[in-house]
Amino acid sequence: MSDTRARPATAAGTWQLGDLTVNRVGFGAMRLTGGIPFGPGGRRSDRERSIAVLRRAVELGVNHIDTAAFYFSATRSANELINAALAPYPDDLVITSKVWPGRDPSGDWWWAEPEQLRGQVEENLRQLGRDHLDVVNLRLPRSWASRSVAEHFGALAELRDAGLVRHLGVSNVTAGQLAEARTIAPVVCVQNPYSVDAPGAQRELLRECGDLGIAFVPFFAIAGARREAGAGATEDGAVLQVARAHGASPAQIRLAWTLAQGAHVLAIPGTGDPEHLVENVAAGAIRLSDEEIARLGKVRQGAG
């Protein structure tokens, strides 16, 4: 059996995060905990099922997992689940985390000052049971679009120099903020919201990252404009039509389209459902025609 069939996460190829090679189809840990950190509610997750999902992801060839210390619910921590499921970690596994947002034990949000980022990095290290983090993204507040990232990113660069972090990325940034960060330290990835209904500015940033050789790592690729609420019950007609043509789900088509935007684009779909995991990973093998890619690219926010 070919490696692609045995490990379907390899079907879409690889990309470099600095000196680390990852398969372009990865896994996002946010939904493992049952609760959604950025929104209300959520359901209780089954710990053993979440652990099984993580182990199955690695079996399927996933070697890039996105997480954060603030991914936790009343009963579950994404980092703790990753540690329990995968330590001792495979040599090729890359774990990406993010800092700046934080949550106290009650779940209330706070935003770190530059000098507090070390504590956030160390908390990720403790929870994951590691002595360094492969990649850390500086996750910006949505209200920060016109402000400087220099102090916070500079503090992360110092942690990189100290050996606590191997590579740095940025999240929720504008093109100007990416340019500013790159004057301080190398940036290996940009993690921004992106899907078939992404606005023009995000599409331009994706293209710019490709020109710079920087990985673009979309979140909400499946949920689209619904963001933290997840995929909706209704779907855009163009997505449904292409899905029927490929015998695939709309979620798979959204992921396939996202990956088709460039060899530097990585996917990190998340789920706590073993069946959805297999479906998401299989999307990396779907090849859309140029006409289908163009048709899906005309979907706009709020469509469907």
- Check 15, 27, 70, 71 and give the catalytic one: 71
Specify whether 71 is catalytic. Answer: yes
Beta bridge partners of 138: 99, 170
Under 8 Å between Cβ of 272 and 280: no
Side chain identity at residue 86, one-letter code: L
Give yes or no for a contact between 286 and 252, defined as CB atoms under 8 angstroms apart: yes
Q: Just list the catalytic residues.
A: 71
